[in-house]
Chains A and B, each alone.
Chain A
């Protein structure tokens, strides 16, 4: 009885998880051959995500966060490393297996306009994955109507085309389509970045509701720190294909350790006009991710960089329980 009491307390505090890993990446790499050489888009990333959690991936443009998301869902074939989903190695899958996998893992894209077929009606767009999966047309139509209701789209829009709707409604279509096959795991790539704040709040609330109702696990990729802080349980910070820091959200925002994370957090403009904190301005330019030299990729912009930082690669280390940092000087 005492144990169940403790468990329920932990549960109430939101700290209790079933601790079952749903997705795991091991030393995952994705390189692209480009005219100038080899572009190291994702370079040795490892993490595991627990069922029901929201795992935030944050970083600036070109840090590899979108490539990482796309590699997990096999829109890109990984260069090396391993991906496990529910314990099963899914690094290399056949076309048929990949289709199977899409029942469990789905994707929500940033731009709800360019990711929706402009010549299909809202209902047809949401029905499409169901039909491809082999559902009968009539059944698919009923299911699509349920999905529209679930994401808060009025049935009036059934026969509308994407261009007739505003950004928020378009993103609702994108969400309904992603959830059509009842996935367990949804990778959201900048789902609210193209939306105005008042609409962004509607969509974030919808995503939280759906997560609770359908027991979804999210990877939430964004450059927006206030959004990631709001929605994620844990946050991973990426810089030029590398992980630089990983911790629980509260911990990361309270005690950022990596110099890049610190600069990133201090750069976010705050609306508190009496407390405009001192910003740390980064100088120097971002180094090229094409055939990068050994050493810390952030060294060129880092105030604390030493010779070691410019010559030796850095490994991610656990500096506090659950708080991982990749920096020579910690």
Chain B
């Protein structure tokens, strides 16, 4: 058996809208190994969530369309499976945690029932047994079992997010995709949730994809990290490779723009000038070139992801380390 649970190969996704074709994901490839956490980091509109929805088979079609690529999960290409098959693995083998804990819960159903619903959908168990299992799951995420018969509005934001996590974990998925799981939460609650996710990963050996714009969360949680810009992976490697041997100017720019990164003590931050290119008319060459301070004529050519050593891939003609490509 290979050590890869999920392999995304050359995935491209477009949204065909009135204004034109939005190229949301462009030729993205990555692997997730058993038991590891891969981080996808990037700014708004980079295509992170589209990648997650493509894996889950939840892209809104139309307007979305997968134009190329393959997503193999435990050896099966999910893009060739029908909806019935996807329903059988969604919430069962692959689960997703959504960003907004309020809109992901049904406001008119008891929180416990929302969990036992998932359990009954995927397992042949009685209602009483499902309730028992749901109560255990609630306890696992630190919510007393006697709160089973309560509506979501009675729960705080952090508790709701724990309910979402409980729902996602109810069937012991092999792969968990968490899309900005703590972005809507306060830092002290975020710390609780991250701790919980880490414990569960250790206990159950789940593989994770963690989508976030927060580099601090990535540093805390991930083994490997992929940096996404304008629908492309611009840098991918182990946490250490990307954080300590940052090679792509965009990744470097993200770090430099953080308050507190300026060690000289000055008050001025180093923003990345300009803004992300319009996804309807993306340039053929490097998509970051228009904002890049290291731009040269060579940047006008098409750039491929290139290995600069030990599986550290970078999409740049003159990366910050690892020499010329």
Residues in chain B within 8 A of chain A (CB atoms): 43-44, 156-157, 159, 186-192, 194-195, 213-220, 239-240, 243-244, 253-255, 257-261, 267-273, 275
Contact = CB atoms under 8 A, between A and B. Distances in A.
B156 A285 contact: yes
Interface of A: 60-61, 166-168, 196-202, 204-205, 208, 223, 225-227, 229-231, 263-264, 266-273, 276, 279, 281-283, 285-286
A231 B269 CA distance: 10
B258 A269 contact: no
Contacts of B156: 285-286
Given A204-B259, A264-B188, A282-B192, A269 B159 contact: no
Contacts of B195: 279, 281
Contacts of B190: 267, 269
19 contacts: A196-B213, A198-B254, A198-B271, A199-B271, A199-B275, A202-B271, A225-B187, A226-B260, A264-B188, A266-B191, A268-B216, A269-B214, A271-B218, A271-B219, A273-B240, A276-B219, A276-B220, A281-B192, A282-B191
A269 B219 contact: yes
Contacts of A196: 43-44, 213
Contacts of A269: 190, 194, 214, 216-217, 219-220
Contacts of A204: 259, 269
- Give the 10 A-B CB pairs with smallest separation, nearest first: A269-B216, A201-B271, A230-B259, A60-B186, A198-B272, A201-B269, A196-B43, A267-B191, A201-B257, A202-B271
Given A201-B258, A226-B260, A269-B194, 19 more contacts: A166-B275, A168-B275, A198-B43, A198-B253, A199-B271, A230-B259, A230-B269, A263-B188, A266-B191, A267-B191, A268-B216, A269-B214, A269-B219, A271-B261, A279-B195, A281-B191, A281-B192, A282-B192, A286-B156
A229 B216 contact: no
Contacts of B272: 198, 201
A89 B255 CA distance: 45
Contacts of A201: 257-259, 269-272
Q: Is the interface of B mostly helix, strand, loop or mixed?
A: helix
B186 A223 contact: yes
Given A201-B271, A268-B187, A229 B259 contact: yes
A205 B192 CA distance: 33
A281 B213 CA distance: 22
A279 B268 CA distance: 29
B219 A230 contact: no
Contacts of A199: 271, 275
Nearest to A59: B186
Contact of B191 (A271, A279, A286): A279
A267 B187 contact: yes
Contacts of B244: 273
A207 B213 CA distance: 23
A292 B260 CA distance: 37
A271 B215 contact: yes
